[in-house]
């Protein structure tokens, strides 16, 4: 992803002439997204006489976003604004890991295993987790979801690991 | 007039069928249940619960979703009053006097008046929808592609102007959303756009996926920043005496009516003004009150007015969706998503071809409001207990529930990962003070705007002036331009910021 948060969050990084680092960086990233979109849609056909090609609208919006991003950036340059906010790593990391694990595991391992494991992984996202209660709640939630989605709502999905079912 | 009654009777006929009543009840209950959980706003609630309606027939699904929506809103008011945490932007002002009342041991009357106010507002809004539905639909049928395009521009501008925060950044978010909506196959040529040969992207980014990412996951990650133990000043007093006194009623009734009128008007605007409606209603009450010093110290009309206003606006915002097919806010955008999944393209045609669906939903809104008042007042005790669930247990549950929900939409693991990625994007947006709601709106309107723009230009043989030479379109574009100019003018901007200053 070109637009995931990155870079050091400390405000001391921003030079003095940037008066609103939050908007300044925000605008630059939006411009980056726009440039990325321009590149990604560059292989598409553009205007064809007076009819739109598939690439016309994406490029139009990308150029618009480029301009708006630049405007936001300039706002950050010329007017006093908030500093960069502080990012923490623990929550985003473990919540993302849990989501990725679930996505990878749902097909081969089924809802019960991947759901419960994802629950435990995301619980690592805060130092305040108490493991006994977390495990109990995790079991209850997994059982609840295993009943709710496939049976009550009729949305079919694998429940148990494939090698066990076979 | 006869038409109106005929339509309403048709609607109630659909809505009171046992199955639909059940769905409405379940929706309202589950919506409140999730809406009460701290840290989950209305949009996140609707996004989270979207998958559970997929297995239902279209009418049932929409009725249940509508139930979830106003349930979630009511849940948001409950947390505002009891723990001083607004579930969402529309109930920010409710915290001002609601929480003070709760501190004085009057949480019961505050909750009751919020429910009663919402119900009265809901009744008025239902009638208004029924009244305006048919004529607006006829009006909409006269629209050509140029007019539609201009109307959508106006709607988006309204959404920006009526929202809180920087106009420029909100427009940037809309365009970002428009750009995201371009991912996938081109409607006319079928060419794959910005999909990088990922088969799951060939159909475009699902917006249940994006919504759950930027509203669900991002919120969770953000809340973890401040520490799982959010600073919650839960009111410890036992809630006694639910019913407001006669004096309370006398004080709040006029406020409810004023809030309803204000909310209904602001809700119809294509920008969907539930947020501004609640702020404006509060400011207005404070201005005309004989004892303005009481506001902020537990004035009951300070709860009644904004709660009625936001509920009225929430319901009348269905009008642009049902008649014009244009979602005025992020929640309505999700409704469009739900409709599309059921193969319904919202707009004037739906009103004509599937009247049972539209009127059934409208009637069920009224029933749902009634249910909220009946079921929620006795259940306040349970909601209070739910508020005590620690966040450290709640957030992993939400993560897993959302992950399963997204997976169930298309049975696609890639969707889950995309939602996770959008969670990080949303976290970044929050950190840079970009509102995610306009992004979602842009994403929903993107394909519609492109299609109408293309068709308009095809009809005019590439002549861009078509948008200003067709009178109706010209009026809409002029209104949008005027609005934008007004919004950036210093005097009006100050006025606008004043309305929001209470939060």
List, for residues B303-318, the tens digit of each pLDDT value. 899 889 988 888 888 8
Q: For residue range A22-39, what is the model confidence (pLDDT) as tens digits?
A: 889 999 999 999 999 999
pLDDT in tens, B273-295: 677 788 888 888 888 888 888 88
For range B129-144, the mean pLDDT: 80
pLDDT cut 90: percent of chain B above it: 8
Taking CB atoms and an 8 Å cutoff, what residues of chain A touch B417?
A: 99-100, 103
CA distances from B328 to B130, B478, B479, B491 (A): 18, 19, 16, 26
B209 pLDDT tier (thresholds 50, 70, 90): confident
Query: Do residues B477 and B153 lie in contact, with contact meaning Cβ atoms separated by under 8 Å?
Result: yes
Secondary structure (DSSP) of B95-124: HHHHHHHHHTT-HHHHHHHHHHHHHHHHHH
Instruction: Determine the distance in angstroms separating the CA of B42 from the nearest CA of chain A, rounded to an integer.
Output: 21
Cβ contact A99–B403 (<8 Å):
yes
Q: Which of B282, B313, B312 is nearest to B299 (CA)?
A: B282
Give A156's contacts in chain B (Cβ within 8 Å).
411
Contacts of A78 (CB under 8 A, 6+ apart): A19
Tell me what pLDDT residue B501 has: 61
**Mean pLDDT of the A68-84 span:** 87
Per-residue pLDDT tens over the stretch A106-158 = 888 888 899 999 999 999 888 877 888 889 999 999 998 888 887 777 777 88
Kindly write down the DSSP assignment for every residue of B332-349, as one continuous string.
HHHHHHHHHHTT---SHH
Half-sphere exposure of B309 (CA within 13 A, CB side): 34
Task: Give pLDDT, residue B248.
Answer: 83
- Looking at the complex, does the CB of residue B204 fall below 8 Å from at least one CB of chain A? no
% residues pLDDT > 70 (chain B): 91
Task: Output the six-digit token pair for A88.
Answer: 């923490």
With contacts defined as CB-CB under 8 Å, which chain B residues touch A34? 179
SS3 B470: coil
The pLDDT of residue A116: 92
Nearest CB partner across the interface for A61, out of B179, B420, B423? B179
Residue B99, CB half-sphere, CA atoms under 13 Å: how many?
Answer: 18
Q: How many CB atoms lie within 10 A of CB A101?
A: 19
Average pLDDT over residues A9-20: 66
Of B212, B34, B398, B221, which is closest to residue A118 (Cα–Cα)?
B398
Contact B60, B265 (CB under 8 A): no
Q: How is residue A155 written in tokens?
A: 């949305």
Q: Give residue for tokens 């407001």.
A: B244
Check residue B487 and give its pLDDT. Answer: 76
Contacts of A50 (CB under 8 A, 6+ apart): B457, B458, B461, B462, B463
Q: For B446-491, how does the pLDDT look when each residue is reduced to its tens digit (9 = 90+)?
A: 888 888 888 888 888 878 888 888 888 899 899 889 888 887 776 6
Q: What is the pLDDT of residues A35-61, one digit of tens each?
A: 999 998 888 887 777 777 788 888 999
Residue B205, classed as helix, strand or coil, is coil
Q: What string of DSSP letters covers B375-390? A: HHHHHHHHHHHHHTS-
B317, two tokens: 């915002």
Arithmetic mean of pLDDT, B21-49: 84
* Distance in Å, alpha carbon of B319 to nearest chain A alpha carbon: 28
Which H or E run contains B185?
A: strand B184-185
Question: What's the rounded Cα separation, in Å, for the pair A93 and A99?
Answer: 10
Are the Cβ atoms of A103 and B407 closer than 8 angstroms? yes
pLDDT of A2 reads 40
User: Between A and B, how many residue pairs show a Cβ–Cβ distance under 8 A?
Assistant: 226
Predicted confidence at residue B38, as pLDDT, reads 67
Q: Which residue has the higher pLDDT, B87 or B213?
A: B213
């Amino acid at each position: 992803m070109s637009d995931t948060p990155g870079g050091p969050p400390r405000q001391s990084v921003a030079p003095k002439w940037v008066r609103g680092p939050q908007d300044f960086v925000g605008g630059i990233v939006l411009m980056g997204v726009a440039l990325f979109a321009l590149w990604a849609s560059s292989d598409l056909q553009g205007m064809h006489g007076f009819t739109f090609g598939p690439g016309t609208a994406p490029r139009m919006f990308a150029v618009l976003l480029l301009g708006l991003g630049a405007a936001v950036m300039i706002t950050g340059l010329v007017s006093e604004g908030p500093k960069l906010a502080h990012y923490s790593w623990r929550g985003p990391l473990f919540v993302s890991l849990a989501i990725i694990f679930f996505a990878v595991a749902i097909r081969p391992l089924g809802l019960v295993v991947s759901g419960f494991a994802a629950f435990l992984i995301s619980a690592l996202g805060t130092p305040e987790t108490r493991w006994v209660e977390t495990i109990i709640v995790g079991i209850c939630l997994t059982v609840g979801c295993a009943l709710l989605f496939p049976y009550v709502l009729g949305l079919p999905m694998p429940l148990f690991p494939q090698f066990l079912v076979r | 007039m006869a038409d109106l009654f005929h339509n309403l009777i048709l609607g109630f006929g659909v809505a009171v069928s046992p199955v639909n009543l059940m769905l409405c009840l379940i929706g309202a209950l589950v919506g409140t249940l999730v809406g009460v959980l701290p840290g989950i706003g209305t949009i996140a609630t609707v996004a989270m619960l979207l998958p559970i309606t997929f297995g239902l027939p279209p009418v049932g699904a929409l009725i249940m979703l509508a139930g979830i929506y106003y349930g979630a809103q009511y849940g948001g008011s409950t947390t505002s009053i009891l723990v001083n945490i607004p579930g969402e932007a529309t109930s920010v002002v409710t915290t001002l006097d609601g929480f003070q009342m709760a501190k004085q041991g009057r949480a019961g009357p505050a909750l009751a008046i919020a429910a009663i106010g919402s119900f009265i507002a809901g009744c008025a809004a239902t009638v208004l929808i029924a009244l305006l539905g048919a004529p607006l639909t006829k009006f909409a049928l006269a629209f050509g592609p140029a007019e539609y395009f201009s109307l959508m521009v106006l709607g988006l501008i309204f959404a920006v102007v009526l929202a809180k925060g920087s106009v420029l950044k909100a427009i940037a978010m809309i365009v970002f959303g428009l750009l995201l909506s371009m991912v996938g196959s081109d409607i006319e040529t079928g060419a794959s756009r910005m999909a990088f040969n990922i088969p799951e992207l060939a159909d475009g980014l699902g917006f249940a996926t994006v919504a759950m990412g930027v509203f669900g996951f991002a919120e969770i990650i953000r809340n973890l920043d401040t520490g799982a133990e959010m600073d919650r000043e839960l009111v410890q007093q036992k809630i006694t005496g639910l019913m407001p006194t006669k004096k309370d009623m006398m004080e709040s009734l006029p406020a409810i009516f004023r809030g309803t009128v204000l909310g209904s008007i602001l809700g119809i605007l294509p920008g969907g003004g539930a947020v501004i409606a609640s702020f404006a209603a509060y400011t207005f009450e404070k201005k005309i009150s004989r004892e303005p010093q009481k506001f902020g110290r537990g004035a009951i009309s300070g709860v009644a007015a904004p709660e009625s206003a936001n509920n009225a606006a929430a319901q009348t915002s269905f009008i642009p969706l049902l008649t014009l097919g244009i979602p005025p806010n992020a929640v309505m955008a999700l409704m469009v998503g739900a409709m599309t999944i059921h193969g319904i393209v919202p707009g004037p045609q739906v009103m004509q071809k599937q009247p049972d669906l539209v009127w059934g939903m409208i009637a069920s809104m009224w029933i749902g409001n009634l249910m909220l008042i009946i079921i929620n007042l006795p259940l306040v005790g349970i909601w209070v207990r739910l508020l005590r669930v620690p966040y450290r247990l709640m957030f992993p549950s939400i993560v897993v529930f959302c992950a399963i929900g997204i997976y169930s939409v298309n049975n696609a693991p890639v969707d889950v990962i995309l939602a996770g990625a959008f969670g990080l994007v949303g976290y970044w947006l929050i950190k840079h003070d970009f509102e995610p709601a306009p992004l979602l709106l842009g994403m929903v309107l993107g394909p519609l705007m492109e299609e109408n723009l293309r068709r308009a230009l095809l009809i005019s043989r590439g002549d861009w002036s078509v948008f200003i030479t067709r009178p109706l379109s010209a009026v809409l574009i002029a209104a949008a331009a005027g609005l934008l100019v007004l919004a950036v003018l210093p005097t009006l901007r100050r006025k606008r910021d004043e309305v929001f200053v209470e939060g």
